[in-house]
Amino acid sequence: AVWCKLGEHQFMAIFEVETVQPDRTKHFGLMVRDAQQIKEVRQKLTKKYKLKLHPDFRCDFRDPWGNRIQVGDLSDESLVWLLPYQEVQKVGITFDDKPHKEKRS
């Protein structure tokens, strides 16, 4: 088993299994700073690693073993609840009355 620290209070345990069976809904997510970093991650995944992005999501993909991974950014208002309030203030997140729309590249 491998234990990976993902944040101040988060970790992920990865275990080796004989048969990998990709799940449709279970997955883990990683946070990046902003939409620009999402764009950079998307480009690296598709160009450098030749992975396919899930078409219905902004930056979801499967690793070579079939594990679903989601990358989100701190400007996504629906994910801000993941951060302690102090962190929200520190990064200067503000909320508009209009939903955030971004073109996918």
Mean pLDDT of the chain: 78
Closest residue by Cα to residue 70 from 94, 78, 21, 19: 78
Residue, of 89 and 57, whose pLDDT is higher: 57
Helix (H) or strand (E) holding 87: helix 85-91
Mean pLDDT of 58-78: 83
CB 74 within 8 A of CB 31: yes
pLDDT of 21: 76
From residue 85, alpha-carbon distances to 19, 78, 93 in Å are 41, 14, 10
> With bands split at pLDDT 50, 70 and 90, how would you rate the model's confidence at 48?
very high
For 6, residues 6+ apart whose C-beta sits below 8 A from its C-beta are: 12, 30
- End-to-end C-alpha distance for the chain, whole angstroms: 36
pLDDT of 39: 95
pLDDT of 98: 60
Each residue's pLDDT tens digit, 50-63: 999 999 889 999 98
Q: Are strands 68-73 and 28-32 parallel, antiparallel or unpaired?
A: parallel
pLDDT of 85: 61
pLDDT of 67: 84
